[in-house]
Homo-oligomer: A and B are copies of this chain.
Amino acid sequence: MIAPNRPIRLALFGGGPGAFIGAVHRRAALLDLRFQLVAGAFSRDASRSAAQARAFMVDEARAYTSVEALIAGEIGREDGVEAVAIATPNDSHFAIAEAALKAGLHVISDKPMTSTLAQATALEQIVAQTDCAYALTYTYIGYPMIREARASVASGLLGRVRKIVVTYPQGWLSDSVEHTLPGAAWRTDPSRAGIGGCIGDIGVHAFQLAEYISGLCVERLCADLSSVVQDRVLDDDCNILLRFAGDVPGVLMASQISLGERNGLSIAIYGEQRALSWSHERPGELRFLHPDNRMETVFAGSAAIGPDGMAASRLPAGHPEGFIEAFASIYSDFADAIQGQRGLLDGRLPGIETGLRSMRFVAAAVASSQNRSWIEMENSQQ
């Protein structure tokens, strides 16, 4: 086990020049001094990988172009990597995770876990046979007020949950930008993204957030997925009726053709005694509605929140923390899991079970939409 008093040595897959999420991984991993970035396969192209190593202040000699090369170069080194972060397009998630786990490396990966459900179940087996930690960067659960929301529901503050609405509108794929933006190209390409487009890219965030906060599992759903932009194969707009455990109704919307929208993940959970709502537009706020219509807003870092929310707050109320900090809290949990607190996995920290559920959700949504019918989540599992 890695001692808790030093940073864990991390390698990053992806994050080459121009990439969005790779740089987030780099910043987040280092923010709380829990990791140091010592190697990476930042690109499949050697010169691009080396260039990014320089930009990341990583020894160029440790810039690789494949997981195999990285393992070959790092395993056995006294100062070799101990964990890897996967920030590549979906189609390589499985192969990198498999190789890394089998080499005894801890893994933290972008969602969706894999690009197919078959890969997801295969990965479940691999994780079951290793002592390594496997975690997923469902970013939004790193926000203090999401932790606070989850704790509020768990404490019974809301009473029995009766309705859940989660929406995730984006507008950046409103046009055929796949012809010009690399990040759009692979996300709209079934051979790289997998069976889901929008549903796999952001729908899973919405799904996971709803289950994470409410503690309720989706049991069945009826999905209406569309490919709104001409000639697009994968879905870019998703509207889904849900039923959670206990027959609790819900709605999930995710869209990448909601023109002008930025990244507006929002959730509302209605209970018998109180309701809560949160929006990524103002991540440091959590709102509670009362039966007398009063709306109470509590703020990250303030004395009004409980230990879970406070533990994920680095700054006092009124000092905004954002996306990088939320991501960093997931990295901190990942470090904790590696350094002894394995119990965090699939509890506070999304792990293999969460990843598998999300893949089943994607598969069920796609099947439901094709059949234009309600479907049980489990029906998608064969």
Contact = CB atoms under 8 A, between A and B. Distances in A.
Interface residues of A, number: 87
A294 interface: yes
Contacts of A33: 55-57
Chain A's interface: helix, strand, loop or mixed, by majority?
loop
B292 A304 contact: yes
Interface stretch (A38-46, A272-280, A331-339): A272-280
A162 B259 CA distance: 9
Most chain B CB within a 10 A radius of its CB, from A247, A275, A295 = A295
A311 interface: no
Copies in the assembly, this chain: 4
Nearest to A27: B31
B273 A259 contact: yes
Interface stretch (A86-94, A108-116, A117-125, A222-230): A222-230
B263 A318 contact: yes
B262 A249 contact: no
A319 B175 CA distance: 21
Contacts of A232: none
B56 A257 contact: no
Nearest to A250: B239
Interface of A: 5-7, 20, 23-24, 27, 30-31, 33, 54-57, 162-163, 165, 167, 169-172, 174-175, 222, 224, 226, 228, 237, 239, 241, 243, 247, 249-251, 253, 255, 257-264, 268, 270-275, 280-283, 288-299, 302-304, 314-325, 372-374
21 contacts: A6-B57, A30-B30, A163-B237, A171-B270, A222-B241, A224-B241, A228-B249, A255-B270, A259-B272, A260-B275, A260-B291, A261-B318, A263-B318, A280-B318, A281-B282, A292-B303, A293-B318, A294-B298, A294-B304, A295-B296, A320-B323
